[in-house]
Chain A
Amino acid sequence: EPEVTQTPSHQVTQMGQEVILRCVPISNHLYFYWYRQILGQKVEFLVSFYNNEISEKSEIFDDQFSVERPDGSNFTLKIRSTKLEDSAMYFCASSERTATYGYTFGSGTRLTVV
Chain B
Amino acid sequence: GDSVTQMEGPVTLSEEAFLTINCTYTATGYPSLFWYVQYPGEGLQLLLKATKADDKGSNKGFEATYRKETTSFHLEKGSVQVSDSAVYFCALPPLIQGAQKLVFGQGTRLTINP
Contacts and interface: CB of A to CB of B under 8 A. Distances in A.
Interface of A: 4, 6, 31, 33, 41-45, 48, 50, 55-56, 58, 91, 93, 98-108
A29 B84 CA distance: 29
Interface stretch (B16-24, B38-46, B58-66, B67-75): B38-46
A105 B107 contact: no
Interface in B84-109: 89, 91, 93-94, 98-107
Chain B interface SS verdict (over half):
loop
Given A106-B43, A107-B42, A43 B104 contact: yes
Given A55-B98, A58-B101, A99-B101, 9 more contacts: A41-B106, A42-B106, A43-B89, A45-B101, A48-B100, A56-B100, A99-B94, A99-B99, A108-B43
Contacts of B94: 99-100
Nearest to B4: A42
Given A106-B43, A107-B42, A99 B102 contact: yes
A69 to B, nearest CB: 15
A4 B42 CA distance: 12
Contacts of B81: none
Nearest to A98: B100
Interface pairs A-B: 9 shortest CB-CB = A48-B100, A107-B43, A105-B44, A45-B101, A43-B104, A105-B43, A99-B93, A99-B100, A100-B93
A108 B93 CA distance: 21
30 contacts: A6-B43, A31-B100, A42-B104, A42-B106, A43-B44, A43-B89, A43-B107, A45-B103, A48-B101, A50-B100, A55-B100, A56-B98, A56-B99, A56-B100, A58-B101, A91-B44, A93-B44, A98-B93, A99-B94, A99-B99, A100-B93, A100-B94, A101-B32, A101-B93, A102-B32, A102-B49, A102-B91, A103-B102, A105-B44, A105-B45
